[in-house]
Structures are given as structure tokens and as C-alpha cells.
């Protein structure tokens, strides 16, 4: 794709024209254009280092391993996730992994005993995910996400690139991917899986709110079991994460 054929982010029609162009590209080419051309020096990725995070991280490392990777350490993650993060950072050669967490004042005021998740999962996510991420992404014009259309009803209509209410762009290079695509990429490139995947965890978040998925169960049915919640809140603005 010739960069000269597309307007800059500030130009009218940028979003629709970029979506049209990205629709014909592979995930790798979308990332390359976004990282090297469209948002060069102003883009990062928010990664949970969860079940499929290795796919985007592997692609990004091959393009530019200095791309900032924002890791939300909520204080409620599985130990396996923390160790997996360390393993992937070394294996892929990522040089700018930024671990962020909830502000101590927010925890003191809103979750002093660390049990808010038991009675208010939305409130817990707000303190431990939404607020920390908002602070961490303040300097970016664009963020890469690993969202896919098949994951939830709210994501079925999302575009490859979106814009939130603050004007920040969200690039979703795996929007059209299915479960088989994810599995095939990992196997083809011989990438390590999150250690909890083999134990039946298909979508991995915080330990108290993540459960195993029974055989044949829905992909995200292990998240916030017993409720109709299927988003933590960090992707709501712009979903139309």
C-alpha cells in the first residue's frame, strides 16, 4: 500500500478510507502500515499476555520490537500469566514492556480489602483496569488491540480501525480471525501457549473472575461466570474492546 494514497489521521475521511484499504490486507500488513507509516512513533499495544496474546506480540516483534507494550497488572492475575509475560518478553525480544497497575489511592478508597470483585465486578474492573489504562495511553494516538468479531455480540460489527471519543484510533488487525486461524498461527510459528490453556482456560483474565470452560463451551464463557458481563470496560468506548 502506497502511503501517499491515503490521507493523514487529521484529514477528513481518514477513518473510512483506511478501513477500506485495511480490509484487503493481512493482519501483518495492517500492523506494518500502522506501526511504520500511519502512526509511526505514536502507537502501542495493550496486551493481557493471555491465551492468544503471543500472536500479535510475535507479529509486532518482527516489525519493530521497540513498539511499546502496555501490560495491565491488576494485582489479581494468575501467577502463570506473570511468568508467561516474562517468557514472551525474552523470547520475542520485546524491549519496551510497560507494566502498569491500579493507583494506591484508588485501591485505598474503592477496594481497601481487595474484595470488590465479589460484589461489584464492574467497579473492580474500573479501578484495576480502566483507570490505569487511561493514564498509560494518554500519550498515544493509536492502540493495537487483539479483539476479534467472534468473541462477543458487541464486537461483531466492529471495524478494523476505530476511533474513540477522545480521538484515539484503535487498530484491530485480527478482527476477521476465527479460532482456527489463531490456533494455526501459533502452531505454524511454534509459539508457546499460555500455560493455563491446556487446563481449559480459553480466555484468561483476573484469577477470581476466570474459570475453566467445559468441553464445547462458549469461547468466553469462563469470564465472569454467572453474570451477563462480557467486557471489562477498557474496550467499551469505540466498540460501537
Instruction: Enumerate the active-site residues.
Output: 232
- How is residue 169 written as a grid cell? 484510533
Say how far apart CA 229 and CA 239 lie, in whole Å.
Answer: 15
DSSP secondary structure of the chain: --GGGS--TTSTTHHHHHHHHHTTS-HHHHHHHIIIIITTTSEEEEE---SSHHHHHHHHHHH-TTS-EEEE--S-B-HHHHHHHHHHHHHHT---EEEE---HHHHHHH-TTS-GGGT-HHHHHIIIIIHHHHHHTTT-SEEE----TTS-GGGTT--SEEE-TTS-EEE-TTTT--HHHHHHHHHHTTPPPPTTGGGT-SS--BGGGB----TT--TTTTBSTTSS----STT-TTT--
Amino acid at each position: 500500500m502506497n502511503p501517499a494514497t491515503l490521507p493523514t489521521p487529521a484529514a477528513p475521511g481518514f477513518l473510512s478510507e483506511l478501513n477500506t484499504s485495511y480490509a484487503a490486507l493481512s493482519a501483518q500488513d495492517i500492523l506494518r502500515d500502522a506501526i511504520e507509516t500511519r502512526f509511526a512513533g505514536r502507537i502501542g499495544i495493550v496486551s493481557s499476555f493471555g491465551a492468544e496474546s503471543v500472536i500479535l506480540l510475535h507479529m509486532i516483534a518482527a516489525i519493530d520490537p521497540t513498539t511499546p507494550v502496555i501490560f495491565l497488572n491488576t494485582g489479581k492475575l494468575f501467577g502463570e500469566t506473570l511468568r508467561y509475560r516474562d517468557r514472551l518478553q525474552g523470547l520475542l525480544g520485546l524491549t519496551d514492556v510497560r507494566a502498569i497497575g491500579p493507583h494506591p489511592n484508588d485501591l485505598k478508597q474503592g477496594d481497601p480489602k481487595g474484595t470488590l470483585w465479589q460484589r461489584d465486578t464492574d467497579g473492580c474492573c474500573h479501578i484495576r483496569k480502566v483507570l490505569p489504562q487511561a493514564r498509560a495511553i494518554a500519550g498515544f494516538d493509536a492502540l493495537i488491540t487483539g479483539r476479534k468479531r467472534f468473541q462477543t455480540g458487541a464486537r461483531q460489527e466492529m471495524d478494523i480501525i476505530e476511533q474513540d471519543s477522545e480521538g484515539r484510533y484503535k487498530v484491530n488487525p485480527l478482527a476477521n480471525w476465527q479460532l482456527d486461524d489463531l490456533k494455526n498461527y501459533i502452531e505454524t510459528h511454534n509459539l508457546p501457549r499460555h500455560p493455563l490453556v491446556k487446563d481449559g482456560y480459553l480466555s484468561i483474565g483476573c484469577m477470581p473472575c476466570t474459570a475453566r470452560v467445559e468441553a464445547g463451551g462458549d469461547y468466553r464463557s469462563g469470564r465472569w461466570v454467572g453474570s451477563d458481563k462480557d467486557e471489562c470496560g477498557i474496550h467499551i468506548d469505540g466498540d460501537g474492546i
